[in-house]
């Protein structure tokens, strides 16, 4: 039976080419995603290993208010440095100062980088310092700096150039050195500007009495663990010691649990969609080929083959197909990994990758997934083949039973009705996300089960515009085989459905953000910085702008990290009285010091109300009890937590604003006010000045970038669905050779045959597109309302484009099958 299966597979290799391609593409996407994740994991691990390669131990503040790799910690007493140096086993101990520092480029504006913008001191011990100078020299005076190479290139800076660093006050400096981080031009997307120790104390720490930490190298023969044990015996409260190995592992874990895990899940989700679409197409292919071979299966049964052997032969074919396509897909994954990296880079998301890393685990997972998907796709057709009675060999049988069972109709209808009910309950019961997800799953399952039931009426309706004899033949052909039509359309339906769902969700989120900001922000202009991570500008800017004769009020806002109830959160700090004149703060408009305002969403989630005491841990290790003093609408510029500036500045050596909201005086035009504000902001290195409309659009712009990326990821699923339609048509053409030959014999032209096949493909594609729009819009309505606090938006232009793409996809899928059908030799076809 194995030989029969292999010979049969080889004989039908052309018919299974589409299935091979579907498995290949799905596995290539999966393997590429896994390889890219492994490569990033190795590259990030190498970054952290290089960062702490020469560090045996480190002393730092014990309070961490952030879950980022480096954390967000306060400074410690500078006297700790001398304590550390006196510990036996310490060979070298250098004070470390790190903080915010935006370097200005050749154009006088802050250099835009993807990561934090940091400044600190240059470590003089080359083993402790992960950076090394590649051009110029180390800083010697307080106004000299070394810059990492990537930042220097981005800002078009060279050794000897005069520029400035915002800490957030403007500090004039001269670049005397360009440095690399190990063999890289920087630590990920971070910019680093290094002063002398005295310069960092003056401009970053702003005091000679505090440091960020101490970097330590052990004496020969002293282990890292032993050194840390000794250090802990002398450190004061508020300071902690950690080994270099633990530092590297801690940073790596933070990246893995945050960005890297989310990145992998994002890619694997789309790889899963591609495999699912491929699985539907493969199932349809096997269903058709097994039905076409029903007489062959019956002959095998008649000559003594058991049901188990027939079943095993079909599964063996699927196993061989899945294995060969999956192995090829792993090699294709090498190219897909490079392609994915290029896509992210083209969209401005530079990924930390080096040489491609291929692990045995990733290869095994990709191959196993491809084989399992292929085998599962063939199970039902294999079972049908094994049930073919031997007597069927004595008569010609239909390739496939055209009817659909009542059980299918009842089950599908029940699932769809249950899904719609759950979606309705979700909308009525406080927009429950759980109900919306369950309803979505039930609706999709119901539509898939109902596919063959709805294929005939849908084909008749959607094929009605097809005129003439060829249109009528196309409608009759699709009505004759509802299962095939549904099988081919379902794969496209899933792809179109996901695209529609994402489109609706993105439009709803974008509309919700825009409406929320528009309702809460009543000003005319906004000054903003490009990054809140190490970015920001001098808080005095808001005061300078407020004194302009064109301005009625200017309220500055900054952000920082704290822990509330053990959770790391970002808080906004500002003057609530000034902020409430341009922003709707609800009951928090008159927030006094000692109080904390929260959004209504956060208050509901935690059961907080006005008067609830909250313990807040600041980065400097101070714990304070602040009382909830009011709530406001979520989603606005103030974020979810708002604190009076007076409560914040006592715990931050570098308070800085990231946004200034401005309201103009009555009678002052937006253009006039913008010119005046831009001139006032110029001494602060020209941060962005935007009108109210531009600011509102910018708040929702991040959704557009993500949507573009999602469309690119889903394109592969659509391609695989098209392969499924093309393969179904090819198999149908092969099966209908005699029918097509007779049509040609009675006068049908080649053009009419091509039109008929294209019409069939168009009906299948339109059926899949219509179903996809339905399963995208209805669940999208419930999910959008649950995710956006009640907002739903369905962009008509984008939905029309999706429908047109679906129809064009059907035409493209029919090109090769239609050409093949039209070129058939009439006599051979009739004699077949």
Tokens 């409608």 locate to 475
Residue 127 · residue 217 · CB < 8 Å = yes
Does the pLDDT at position 627 exceed 80?
Answer: yes
How far is it, in rounded angstroms, from Cα 165 to Cα 118?
A: 10
Contact 173, 142 (CB under 8 A): no
pLDDT at 258: 66
Structural domain of residue 165, as residue ranges?
A: 98-211
Q: Are 659 and 526 in contact (CB under 8 A)?
A: yes
815 and 786 co-located in one domain: yes
Same domain, 715 and 818: yes
Q: How confident is the model at residue 353 (pLDDT cuts 50, 70, 90)?
A: low
Give the number of domains in the chain.
4
Residues linked to residue 108 through DSSP beta bridges, in sequence order: none
CA distances to 252, 294, 474 from 17, rounded to whole Å, are: 43, 21, 25
pLDDT at 659: 92
572: its two tokens = 């906004």
Q: Are residues 571 and 633 in the same domain?
A: yes
Name the percent of the chain lying above pLDDT 70: 88
Higher pLDDT, 545 or 306: 545
Instruction: Please give the angle made by the CA atoms of 337, 36 and 31, to the nearest 5 degrees.
Output: 65
Which pLDDT tens digit goes with each residue over 71-83? 678 899 999 999 9
Calpha distance 264→262 (Å, rounded): 5
> Diameter of the chain by CA atoms?
104
pLDDT at 532: 46
92 lies in some domain: no
Residue owning tokens 């008749």: 460
Does 548 lie in the same domain as 572? Answer: yes
- For the chain, state the CA radius of gyration: 33
Q: 165-198: buried (b, 16+ CB within 10 Å) or exposed (e) per residue?
A: bbbbbbbebebbbbbbbbebbbbbbbbbbbbbbe
Per-residue pLDDT at 192: 94
Question: Average per-residue pLDDT in the chain?
Answer: 84
Place of tokens 């291929």: 358
Least confident window among 59-63, 124-128, 472-476: 472-476
Are 730 and 640 in a shared domain?
A: no
Packing angle, helices 468-480 and 433-462, rounded to 10: 130
Most confident of 662-671, 691-700, 734-743: 662-671
pLDDT, residue 234, reads: 93
pLDDT in tens, 485-508: 787 788 888 888 888 888 888 888
Helices (H), 257-405: 261-292, 294-302, 307-346, 360-386
Whether residue 727 is predicted with pLDDT greater than 50 in this model: the reply is yes
- 483 or 761, greater pLDDT: 761
Measure the CA–CA gap between 135 and 161, rounded to whole angstroms: 13
**Most trustworthy range by pLDDT among 213-217, 390-394, 695-699:** 213-217
Q: Give the pLDDT of residue 432.
A: 66
pLDDT digits (tens, 9 = 90+) for 374-431: 888 888 877 776 666 665 555 554 445 555 567 778 888 888 888 888 888 776 655 5
Assess whether 708 and 674 both reside in one domain.
no
pLDDT at 344 > cutoff 80: no
Element containing residue 649 per DSSP (H, E):
none
Percent of the chain surpassing pLDDT 90? 31
Q: Is 798 a domain residue? A: yes
**How far, in Å, CA of 124 to CA of 679, rounded?**
41
Residue 359 buriedness (CB in 10 A; 0-12 / 13-18 / 19+): middle
Q: Are residues 609 and 723 in the same domain?
A: no
- Out of 315-329, 451-465, 731-745, the most confident range is 315-329
Question: Which carries the bigger pLDDT value, residue 107 or residue 260?
Answer: 107
Residue 61 located in a structural domain:
yes
Scan for tokens 């009382």, then name that residue. Answer: 627
Residue 648 or residue 522, greater confidence: 648
Whether 645 and 788 share a structural domain: no
Structure token pair of residue 761:
């493909």
Residues 6+ apart with CB under 8 A from 428: none
Helix axes 433-462, 482-520, angle to 10 degrees: 130
- On the question of pLDDT at 708 being above 90, the answer is no
Q: Is residue 658 part of a domain?
A: yes
Domain boundary among 634, 661, 686: 686
**pLDDT tens for each residue of 153-162:** 999 999 999 9
Closest CA to 764 of 737, 819, 727: 727
Q: Which residue has the higher pLDDT, 530 or 248?
A: 248
Nearest alpha-carbon partner for 514 in 695, 642, 689: 695
Q: Span 104-133, mean pLDDT?
A: 90
The predicted structure's pLDDT at residue 506: 85
Tell me, yes or no, whether 554 and 682 share the same domain.
Answer: yes
296 domain residue, yes or no: yes
**Alpha-carbon dihedral of residues 184, 185, 190, 193, nearest 10 degrees?**
130
In a domain, 396, yes or no: no
Same structural domain for residues 470 and 515? yes
Pairing between β-strand 98-100 and β-strand 567-574 as defined by DSSP bridges: unpaired
Is residue 466 in a domain? yes
**pLDDT on residue 80:** 95
Using CA atoms, how far apart are residues 439 and 421, in angstroms rounded to an integer? 7
Residue at 66 is within a domain: yes
User: Do 512 and 639 have their domain in common?
Assistant: no
Query: Does 497 lie in the same domain as 356?
Result: no
| Residue linked to tokens 């083959």 | 305
| Residue 539 reports pLDDT greater than 80 | yes
Q: And the tokens for 713?
A: 């990821």
Tell me the sheet residues that pair with 537. Answer: 657
Q: Are 414 and 430 in contact (CB under 8 A)?
A: no
pLDDT digits (tens, 9 = 90+) for 591-615: 899 999 999 889 988 999 999 999 9
Domain closes at, from 162, 186, 211:
211
Average the pLDDT over 431-449 and give the result.
Answer: 79
């Amino acid at each position: 039976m194995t030989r029969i299966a292999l010979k049969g597979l080889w004989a039908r290799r052309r018919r299974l080419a589409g299935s091979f391609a579907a498995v290949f593409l799905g596995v290539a996407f999966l393997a590429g995603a896994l390889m890219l994740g492994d490569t990033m994991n190795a590259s990030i691990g190498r970054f952290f290993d290089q960062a702490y390669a020469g560090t045996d131990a480190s002393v730092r503040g014990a309070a961490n208010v952030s879950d980022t790799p480096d954390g967000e910690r306060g400074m410690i007493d500078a006297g700790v440095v001398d304590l550390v140096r006196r510990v036996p086993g310490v060979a070298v101990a250098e004070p470390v100062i790190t903080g915010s520092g935006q370097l200005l480029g050749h154009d006088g504006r802050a250099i835009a980088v993807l990561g934090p913008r940091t400044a600190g001191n240059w470590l003089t011990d080359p083993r402790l310092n992960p950076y090394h100078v590649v051009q110029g020299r180390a800083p010697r005076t307080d106004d000299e700096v070394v810059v990492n190479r990537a930042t220097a290139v981005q800002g078009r800076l060279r050794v000897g150039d005069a520029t400035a660093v915002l800490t957030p006050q403007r500090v004039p400096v001269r670049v005397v050195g360009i440095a690399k981080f190990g063999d890289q031009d920087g630590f990920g997307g971070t910019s680093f500007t290094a002063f002398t120790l005295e310069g960092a104390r003056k401009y970053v720490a702003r005091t000679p009495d505090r440091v960020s930490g101490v970097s330590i190298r052990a004496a020969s023969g002293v282990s890292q663990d032993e050194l840390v044990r000794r250090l802990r015996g002398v450190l004061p409260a508020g300071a902690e010691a950690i080994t270099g190995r633990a530092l590297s592992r801690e940073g790596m874990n933070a990246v893995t649990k945050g960005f890297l895990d989310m990145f992998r899940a994002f890619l694997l989700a789309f790889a899963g969609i591609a495999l699912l679409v491929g699985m539907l197409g493969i199932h349809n292919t096997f269903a058709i080929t097994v039905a076409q071979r029903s007489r062959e299966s019956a002959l095998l049964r008649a000559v003594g083959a058991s049901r188990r052997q027939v079943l095993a032969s079909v599964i063996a074919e699927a196993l061989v197909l899945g294995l060969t396509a999956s192995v090829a897909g792993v090699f294709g994954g090498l190219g897909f990994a490079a392609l994915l990296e290029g896509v992210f880079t083209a969209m401005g998301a530079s990924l930390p990758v080096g040489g491609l890393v291929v692990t045995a685990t990733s290869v095994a997972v990709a191959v196993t997934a491809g084989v399992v998907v292929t085998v599962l796709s063939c199970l039902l057709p294999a079972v049908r083949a094994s049930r073919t009675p031997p007597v069927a060999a004595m008569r010609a049988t239909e390739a496939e039973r055209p009817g659909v069972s009542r059980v299918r109709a009842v089950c599908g209808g029940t699932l769809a009705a249950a899904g719609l009910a759950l979606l309705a309950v979700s909308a009525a019961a406080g927009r429950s996300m759980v109900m919306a997800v369950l309803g979505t799953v039930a609706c999709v399952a119901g539509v898939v089960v109902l596919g063959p039931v709805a294929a005939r009426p849908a084909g008749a309706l959607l094929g009605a515009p097809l005129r003439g004899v060829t249109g009528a033949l196309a409608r009759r052909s699709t009505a004759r085989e509802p299962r095939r039509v549904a099988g081919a359309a379902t794969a496209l339906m899933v792809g179109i459905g996901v695209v529609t769902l994402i489109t609706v969700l993105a439009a709803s989120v974008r509309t919700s953000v825009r409406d929320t900001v528009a309702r809460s922000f009543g000003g005319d202009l906004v000054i903003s910085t490009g990054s809140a991570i190490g970015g920001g500008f001098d808080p005095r800017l808001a005061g300078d702008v407020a004194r302009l004769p064109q301005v009625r009020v200017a309220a500055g806002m900054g952000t920082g990290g704290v822990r509330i109830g053990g959770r790391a959160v970002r808080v906004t700090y500002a003057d609530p009285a000034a902020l409430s004149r341009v922003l709707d703060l609800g009951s928090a408009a008159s927030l006094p010091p000692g109080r904390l305002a929260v959004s209504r969403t956060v208050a509901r989630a935690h059961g907080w109300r006005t008067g609830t005491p909250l313990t807040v841990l600041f980065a400097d290790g101070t714990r304070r009890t602040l009382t909830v003093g009011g709530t406001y609408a979520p989603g606005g510029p103030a974020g979810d937590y708002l604190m009076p500036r007076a409560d914040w500045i006592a715990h931050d050596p570098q308070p800085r604003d990231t946004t200034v909201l401005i309201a103009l005086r009555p009678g002052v035009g937006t253009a006039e006010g913008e010119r005046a504000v831009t001139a006032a902001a110029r001494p602060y290195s020209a941060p962005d000045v935007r009108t109210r409309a531009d600011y509102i659009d910018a708040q929702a712009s991040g959704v557009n970038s993500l949507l573009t990326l999602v469309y690119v990821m889903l394109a592969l699923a659509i391609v695989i669905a098209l392969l499924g339609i093309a393969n179904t048509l090819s198999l149908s053409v092969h099966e209908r050779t005699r029918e097509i030959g007779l049509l040609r014999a009675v006068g049908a032209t080649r053009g009419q045959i091509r039109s008929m096949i294209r019409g069939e493909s168009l009906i299948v594609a339109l059926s899949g597109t219509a179903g996809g729009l339905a399963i995208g819009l209805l669940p999208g309505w419930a999910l959008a309302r649950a995710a956006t606090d009640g907002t739903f938006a369905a962009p008509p232009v984008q939905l029309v484009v999706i429908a047109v793409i679906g129809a064009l996809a059907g035409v493209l899928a029919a090109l090769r099958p239609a050409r093949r059908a039209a070129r058939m030799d009439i006599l051979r076809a009739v004699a077949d």
